[in-house]
Amino acid sequence: MDLKGCIFDLDGVIVDTAKYHFLAWKRLAAELGFEFTEEDNEALKGVSRMESLDILLRKGGIRMEEKEKEALAALKNGWYVKLITGMTPDEILPGSIDLLEALRSEGILTAIGSASKNAGTILEGIGLRSIFDVIIDGNKITRAKPDPEVFLKGAEEMKLPPSSCVVFEDAQAGIEAALAGGMKCVGVGDPELLGRADVVVPDLSFITVKQLRNL
């Protein structure tokens, strides 16, 4: 392929903040009087905050008005932001920096495409804000994955056609979004869960620029 740009999901690809999300959702569920497990948490991967809350409330058999839901989402986010504020470069996942530097050395643009509204805070904490040409996060989009909006906006801001972009994703919804947007996709994680991706790797240390050009 004529590789011009790479768009990275943040959570589970560059860093793993899933544990912090889980701790915050688990605490919220406990406050509401039910248990929320790591298995339950799998359903929230790649999903927006309000949709995640809806899934959690369904798990607890709880119905609420929108205003109440917004207050709960803000409460959860406050706990989560406190947890991620302490993140450091030590939490960058294997291979991330090497791949990003290799891409940039070959003139390939890099972007973040994340549903998180806290992507900027995380990137500042781990020291990677300046390595990305474009950041598309939850503050810039209105539709959650598997809608391709987040990745199409990334390509648009890089001024590239979708067919010249590769997306890196750890969630099925994200892979569906990349494919719907007409992009190649690298799955990061379990091949059984991410089988629709063009290639699946355990982490970013297992992929090279040469392999990406051959997708």
**Catalytic (active-site) positions:** 9, 11
What DSSP state is assigned to residue 82?
H
Q: Tokens 């905050």 label which residue? A: 49
Please tell me the distance from the alpha carbon of residue 73 to that of residue 47, in angstroms, as a whole number. 13
Q: Which residues neighbour 141 within 8 Å (Cβ) at sequence distance 6 or greater?
A: 115, 149, 150, 153
**Is residue 135 helix, strand or coil?**
strand
Please tell me the distance from the alpha carbon of residue 213 to that of residue 30, in angstroms, as a whole number. 47
**What is the dihedral angle through the alpha carbons of 213, 186, 161, 108, rounded to the nearest 10 degrees?**
-50
Angle (CA) 55 114 184, round 5°: 110
Alpha carbon of residue 41 to chain centroid: 15
